[in-house]
Structure 1
């Protein structure tokens, strides 16, 4: 026969023994047969189709009353069920779902004056939505990404393996490293960078991939232009550029969280853009080191603008020299290299001279002579080949010429610089 209780102490008394906690009293009278009863209760709640919010509250009570044996293990084991509502609300983004679930559980624990760290569960990282989106975007594909990395590594050349291994410590330890990756076409630069990006994302870290041109940015999953990634204003002839990224903005958090930043075709950008990004990352990371100490590999070919910047001294040069794309045909690979260097053979075709002249004159009269009305009020951009001046005769306005920095190897009167482009602007 159970005696009635007349005080809170009576509620903790069994066989004339006063237990210090209600949990110990419940265990003494057989309500908790073992320390795993808390887990059984949680499993039963999940099986009973309780809402995730109710599961959060119940999980907190199990933590507060010390009903779970291994708190961190229980969270790891049942986190998918506890965060399922956030998973559905956020387009199956499991990383974001677990982060939001931990935040809610942490808030419930604060009502008891407790924190997740008290139970050996890591506190939720206060990521902004942009960082969570970037991490969650690849979290569901980590195994696939790692499989691609392992497959790619097996096919690497000796040079590629050396560079890949060199990246390992900076990625994991946050050590600053600035790599200038150089190589002619077909040497596997894009393949190497793509593999490194996959590796970074497969271990749950952030990789920001940028390029000077939009076309190059499309070569990489998640790639974006440098102007978009760093919000550098597009202004010509401006050496005092200021990136439009606020210190506490989501974009600043993304750049700060990035383990590695790639910048393809960096020499195509003005050195003012590179130095603008340097100042931005120094301010965001609060580190007076080049690019804020961020690990910055730059996959490019040599360019005047980068070489003229004071930041150039910070870079280590790594060159890929082994042909991959045309490895089975060394003669053709050598020919492609010579064409890329502007030193390819000149092959005259006299039989096409008259035909070319006729077609060119016909083309000029067809395209330009019939331009009337609104079509005249536009700007025309012409590649400065031999026919550039002939085209300008059909267009009104003042022409402007811009020069490139590459000497013309076929110049008859010394190493004069060749025309890069001819622009005629209609007033």
Structure 2
């Protein structure tokens, strides 16, 4: 009936002098042909279905149908004095059909003299749900500071940091998060009020989780400048690794990568470039190394044992001491890349423990995460097999080789492979020294 009213106004100039509610007085709806026809006799009063003021755009649309005459489309209903508005509510405001929110402002000002911030958030939520607030976004912008009065102190107590300072954007987001929770208890949401901002729900966990906050606290602008200086200095092979890793991180593909090379060829320089790029985009990178000295060369680096809680006494079925509900577990789940330097010098049981733990942590983030290496996380390993291998007390070459992690990469013939590689390496050194002596 409504769309045919549009068409009738378009075809018949006389019909354009009537509102949708007045239309049945002079026109008759023929249900069999689904069209409006001129009324020849009698009279009829039009009536629209009821719409509650809290029903949003439906309520304002119904209000306009009582006012606007001769509309030929929905756009005409939203147009006032030649200006098309985005919503029916904005059109009602332009027509002066809605009053201001002065009574709600006065109510919040009065309540602020005796109510706590938590109570004020409940009052504001009640206004949204049950009162005819014309512009909730303006009301929010005017009073958001009294809604966040207790959140700063509460977060300081939760984190045990009484000097913690949060930017206004994070405080606003926390208040919106609390209001959304209040509305959800009544099966409502801030999404029902298009003018109201919606909280970034993930940010609530970021604020509370101290580990994530630390990883996201880097200066993005300075890191971007650092990346631009480092990137132009990468050689062809470094660019190949950089592009492969960035493609995996950008598209959330995961994967296990290994950069093999001796000391001094630019592995650390490559790590710094990748870390600067990802952190400048506010992405989390966990930079670890097998030794403390190597970790000092990485920006924000730590030892693998410290970061992943790898046990000291390892065995075949070891796992890392990371609880599923711990902040560290959440940090690992949100990490985009893990860089592990000097990987060949750590026991293979440590890699198995990290792999087993990551699969458990990531199994809720994807259907096949538990079947992928490191739970589908992008892991970039680096090191040199010719340098220090894992230290195994009271074991010979066979025990050291058996403790090496590359059996997971090269298969079961790892002892033969490493022995052959070692023999070739020693033979090359012998020939080199012999040439020097003869020369």
Tell me the TM-score range normalised by the shorter chain. 0.5 to 0.7
Q: Return closer, same or farther for 1:234/1:153 CA change in 2, 3 Å cut-off.
A: same
1:76: Cα distance to partner? 11
Q: Provide the rounded CA distance (Å) in 1 between the counterparts of 2:142 and 2:372.
A: 42
Q: Return closer, same or farther for 1:123/1:68 CA change in 2, 3 Å cut-off.
A: farther
Q: Provide the rounded CA distance (Å) in 2 between the counterparts of 1:274 and 1:75.
A: 51
Structure 2 residue aligned with 1:294: 377
Task: Give TM-score, length-normalised by structure 2.
Answer: 0.54
Q: Provide the rounded CA distance (Å) in 2 between the counterparts of 1:190 and 1:81.
A: 49
Q: Deviations over 1:189-226 (max 9, x none)?
A: 22221232232223232222211112222223332211
Q: Return closer, same or farther for 1:228/1:27 CA change in 2, 3 Å cut-off.
A: closer
Q: Provide the rounded CA distance (Å) in 2 between the counterparts of 1:78 and 1:172.
A: 39
Structure 2 residue aligned with 1:344: none
Q: Provide the rounded CA distance (Å) in 1 between the counterparts of 2:262 and 2:248.
A: 26
Structure 2 residue aligned with 1:146: 224
Q: Return closer, same or farther for 1:244/1:76 CA change in 2, 3 Å cut-off.
A: farther
Q: Does residue 310 in structure 1 map to residue 408 in structure 2?
A: yes
Aligned CA-pair RMSD: 4.8
Q: Deviations over 1:331-351 (max 9, x none)?
A: xxxxxxxxxxxxxxxxxxxxx
Q: Return closer, same or farther for 1:410/1:132 CA change in 2, 3 Å cut-off.
A: closer
The answer (yes or no) to whether the contact 1:176–1:293 under 8 Å persists in 2 is: yes
- Of the candidates 239, 242, 264, which is equivalent to residue 164 of structure 1? 242
Q: Return closer, same or farther for 1:81/1:171 CA change in 2, 3 Å cut-off.
A: farther
Q: Provide the rounded CA distance (Å) in 2 between the counterparts of 1:232 and 1:293.
A: 19
Q: Provide the rounded CA distance (Å) in 2 between the counterparts of 1:80 and 1:153.
A: 43
Q: Return closer, same or farther for 1:309/1:410 CA change in 2, 3 Å cut-off.
A: closer
1:100: Cα distance to partner? 3.3
Q: Provide the rounded CA distance (Å) in 2 between the counterparts of 1:144 and 1:34.
A: 51
The answer (yes or no) to whether the contact 1:212–1:266 under 8 Å persists in 2 is: yes
Q: Provide the rounded CA distance (Å) in 1 between the counterparts of 2:142 and 2:409.
A: 48
Q: Does residue 266 in structure 1 map to residue 351 in structure 2?
A: no
Q: Deviations over 1:89-119 (max 9, x none)?
A: 5523448645533431222323543124444
1:301: Cα distance to partner? 1.7
Q: Does residue 205 in structure 1 map to residue 274 in structure 2?
A: no
Q: Return closer, same or farther for 1:70/1:108 CA change in 2, 3 Å cut-off.
A: closer
1:298: Cα distance to partner? 0.9
Q: Does residue 184 in structure 1 map to residue 262 in structure 2?
A: yes
Structure 2 residue aligned with 1:395: none
1:274: Cα distance to partner? 0.8
Q: Provide the rounded CA distance (Å) in 2 between the counterparts of 1:270 and 1:137.
A: 27
Q: Provide the rounded CA distance (Å) in 2 between the counterparts of 1:70 and 1:264.
A: 53
Q: Larger relative CO (CA 8 A, sep 6+): 1 or 2?
A: 1
Q: Provide the rounded CA distance (Å) in 2 between the counterparts of 1:190 and 1:77.
A: 50
Q: Return closer, same or farther for 1:74/1:143 CA change in 2, 3 Å cut-off.
A: farther
Q: Deviations over 1:119-153 (max 9, x none)?
A: 46255126377745424553462222223222322
Q: Provide the rounded CA distance (Å) in 2 between the counterparts of 1:277 and 1:265.
A: 16
1:182: Cα distance to partner? 2.3
- Of the candidates 45, 53, 63, which is equivalent to residue 21 of structure 1? 53
Q: Provide the rounded CA distance (Å) in 2 between the counterparts of 1:19 and 1:223.
A: 60
Q: Return closer, same or farther for 1:62/1:31 CA change in 2, 3 Å cut-off.
A: farther
- Of the candidates 100, 109, 113, which is equivalent to residue 187 of structure 2? 113
Q: Return closer, same or farther for 1:136/1:212 CA change in 2, 3 Å cut-off.
A: closer
- Of the candidates 341, 353, 358, which is equivalent to residue 281 of structure 1? 358
The answer (yes or no) to whether the contact 1:135–1:205 under 8 Å persists in 2 is: no
1:228: Cα distance to partner? 1.6
Q: Provide the rounded CA distance (Å) in 1 between the counterparts of 2:172 and 2:251.
A: 25
Q: Provide the rounded CA distance (Å) in 2 between the counterparts of 1:130 and 1:61.
A: 27
The answer (yes or no) to whether the contact 1:52–1:82 under 8 Å persists in 2 is: yes
Q: Return closer, same or farther for 1:203/1:309 CA change in 2, 3 Å cut-off.
A: same
Q: Does residue 220 in structure 1 map to residue 298 in structure 2?
A: yes
Q: Provide the rounded CA distance (Å) in 1 between the counterparts of 2:231 and 2:139.
A: 37
Number of corresponding residues: 298
The answer (yes or no) to whether the contact 1:278–1:290 under 8 Å persists in 2 is: yes
Q: Does residue 100 in structure 1 map to residue 183 in structure 2?
A: no
The answer (yes or no) to whether the contact 1:35–1:69 under 8 Å persists in 2 is: no
Unaligned stretches of 5+ residues in structure 1: 1-17, 314-405, 412-427
Task: Give TM-score, length-normalised by structure 1.
Answer: 0.55
Q: Return closer, same or farther for 1:139/1:187 CA change in 2, 3 Å cut-off.
A: same
